[in-house]
Structure 1
Amino acid sequence: MMFKDRIDAGLQLAQELKQFKDKDAVVLAIPRGGLPLGAIVARELNVPLDVVLTKKIGHPTNKEYAIGAVSMENRILAPSEGIPSSYIESETLRIRNLLNERYKQYYKKSKPQDLTDKLVIVVDDGIATGNTILATVALVQKKSPKAIVIATPVAPADAIQKLEDSPFVSEVICLQTPYYFRAIGQFYDDFDPVTDKEAIRILEEFSVEP
């Protein structure tokens, strides 16, 4: 099954999340690709929209492989052998600088949602390995939410299993778990990158709604 674009995927995902409508919840979209879906889900569920300001730390020899994640306040690291602490510290500093810039861009007209005792629904446009979102969830958990639900249109079955095994994840909702999974974009007709400008517009449009 293919999704036409992120709007189509967001509408389908929202249908599977109807049980959370009008709950004491927050939709946390993973920028930038998760924002178009997150906005649709939040609107359909009548709950606030926010973004996850975290970024993975890539392995020094393979930047795509997550060995942890950084937020503006915290850091999570997977047990890793032989990675110099100097690399971890320099990457943490570099990522925090990027997150600070993104914070200034995204919160010109609003402020981050308080996640304490809230049902948090983490939305992305797809999940490949699950490593990055696992690290992200561990950072979100530090905000003391009541529960964390992960919602995505597409992911391989082994990634879903990995997320379901996390002690921090209450539920994983995924529309498609294809056997042959090379990349998220293969399941979308239109998978153009979401620009910072578009991401900011989505957030600002949402923040001014009553």
Structure 2
Amino acid sequence: MLFQDRTAAGQFLAEALADYANRSDVLVLALPRGGVPVAFEVAKALNVTLDVLVVRKLGVPDNKELAMGAIASGSVRVLNQDIVQQLSISDEVVDGITLQEREELERREQLYRGARPFPDLWARTVILVDDGLATGATMWAAILALRQQQPARIVVAVPVAAPETYQELAGKVDKIVCSATPSPFYSVGRWYKNFPQTTDEEVRDLLATATKNQRSLFLST
């Protein structure tokens, strides 16, 4: 294992992102839910704003942990055609799972954001943070969703990633920062000592704390 938990992983990752500290044009966007505790530590260390970009994995019918694609805010959907064709998954099944996950995506957006609008990303540097990359499907959906908002730069930052996924994404963003790319990879959770499921309540609490910290900083300057 590499990390004690997501908090420790975020603190370690923040050291590699020190060049982005104290910059008003930088925004950290977490992929809920597991990416939020990591991103919270990154944003706190860099002294930049934290927000979320909701993305949902499209799991195959008999193995929901295996991603055949992902969806993100802005009606973005990406599919892993190799998996879809290999497992002979029909369009009807893909569309049905997409609809279910779209409902969950909208529920989480309402829960985490409420009436607060999505931040303006134009001409900003966005650091996308998750707790790790396995297939990269959810991160790629997030990248496509971000491109619609025309940020100046997209940086992917994760504590750990599968080597092949790291290489694939490296050519699709401005920069990728990753603490480790172990091989064989197995799974994201394999590289954490403590890897419990992050709850909605934890996400909301961390976002509220981050917002409070930013307001306090603004009032003190």
> What is the TM-score with the length of structure 1 in the denominator?
0.89
Q: Which amino acid in the other structure matches residue 35 of structure 1?
A: V
Work out which of the residue numbers 105, 111, 133 in structure 2 matches 1:105.
111
Secondary structure, counterpart of 1:2 in structure 2: coil
- Match of residue 186 from structure 1: 190
> How far 1:185 sits from its partner (Å)?
1.6
The superposition leaves residues 29-77 of structure 1 with CA deviations (integer Å, 9 ceiling, x where unpaired) of: 1111111110111111121111111212234455334333223422233
- Match of residue 134 from structure 2: 128
- Distance (whole Å) between structure 2 residues aligned to residue 183 and residue 149 of structure 1: 22
- Match of residue 27 from structure 1: 28
Q: Which has the higher helix share?
A: 2
Q: Which amino acid in the other structure matches residue 93 of structure 2?
A: Y
> How far 1:102 sits from its partner (Å)?
0.7
> How far 1:83 sits from its partner (Å)?
4.6
Work out which of the residue numbers 203, 206, 209 in structure 2 matches 1:205.
209
Q: Which amino acid in the other structure matches residue 13 of structure 1?
A: L
> How far 1:78 sits from its partner (Å)?
3.4
> How far 1:12 sits from its partner (Å)?
0.7
Query: Cα gap change, 1:132/1:103 in structure 2, threshold over 3 Å: closer, same or farther?
Result: closer
- Distance (whole Å) between structure 1 residues aligned to residue 58 and residue 51 of structure 2: 22
Q: Pick which of 11-20 and 49-58 moved more.
A: 49-58
Secondary structure, counterpart of 2:93 in structure 1: helix
Work out which of the residue numbers 136, 154, 162 in structure 2 matches 1:156.
162
The superposition leaves residues 80-124 of structure 1 with CA deviations (integer Å, 9 ceiling, x where unpaired) of: 356533333323322221112111211247432222221110111
Q: Which amino acid in the other structure matches residue 177 of structure 2?
A: I
- Distance (whole Å) between structure 1 residues aligned to residue 80 and residue 115 of structure 2: 39
Residue 73 of structure 1 pairs with residue 98 of structure 2: no
- Distance (whole Å) between structure 2 residues aligned to residue 15 and residue 57 of structure 1: 32
Q: Pick which of 171-180 and 1-10 moved more.
A: 1-10
Using the aligned pairs only, state the percent identity.
37
The answer to whether the 8 Å contact 2:3/2:9 transfers is yes
Secondary structure, counterpart of 2:120 in structure 1: coil
Q: Structure 1 regions of 5+ residues with no counterpart? A: none
Q: Pick which of 29-38 and 134-143 moved more.
A: 134-143
Work out which of the residue numbers 160, 167, 176 in structure 1 matches 2:180.
176
The answer to whether the 8 Å contact 1:5/1:188 transfers is yes
Residue 141 of structure 1 pairs with residue 147 of structure 2: yes
Q: Structure 2 regions of 5+ residues with no counterpart? A: 216-221
- Distance (whole Å) between structure 2 residues aligned to residue 103 and residue 62 of structure 1: 25
Secondary structure, counterpart of 2:3 in structure 1: coil
- Distance (whole Å) between structure 2 residues aligned to residue 83 and residue 179 of structure 1: 29
Q: Number of residue pairs matched?
A: 208
> How far 1:19 sits from its partner (Å)?
0.6
- Distance (whole Å) between structure 1 residues aligned to residue 96 and residue 39 of structure 2: 31
The answer to whether the 8 Å contact 2:55/2:141 transfers is no
Secondary structure, counterpart of 1:208 in structure 2: helix
